[in-house]
Amino acid sequence: MTEPLVVFVNARAVQIPQGATVLDAVRAFDAAEGDAVSAGTRGVTDSRGLPVAATTPLHGGAIFRTVSARAARSGDAE
């Protein structure tokens, strides 16, 4: 049995199964926020503030932040 990955979304640790995506992590953090990312009204950036695709596979210890979709497109975190 594989151990879950621990990643951080908006400074909160969430446990995600191996093979999960950024969107899975956001949904584990907050279902409504995950829906907003899916709808394109929110985006996700990495720990450096760079946009990350919701379909990106996760790795343990990754840090993500949800931002306005405009900020995610321009690379400017809100």
Calculated CA dihedral for residues 20, 23, 25, 27, nearest 10 degrees: -120
pLDDT confidence of residue 76: 53
Show pLDDT as tens, one digit a residue, over the chain (78 residues): 689 999 999 999 999 999 999 999 999 999 999 999 999 999 999 999 999 999 999 999 999 999 998 766 665 544
Supply the pLDDT for residue 7: 97
Enumerate residues 6+ apart whose C-beta is below 8 A from 53: 22
pLDDT at position 1? 62
Domain 5-74, what fold? Ubiquitin-like (UB roll) (3.10.20)
Q: Residues 55, 8, 44, 37: what is their CA dihedral angle, to the nearest 10 degrees? A: 70
Q: Is 30 left (phi over 0), alpha (psi -120 to 50) or beta?
A: beta
Residue 72: predicted pLDDT: 60
Per-residue tokens: 30: 């907050």
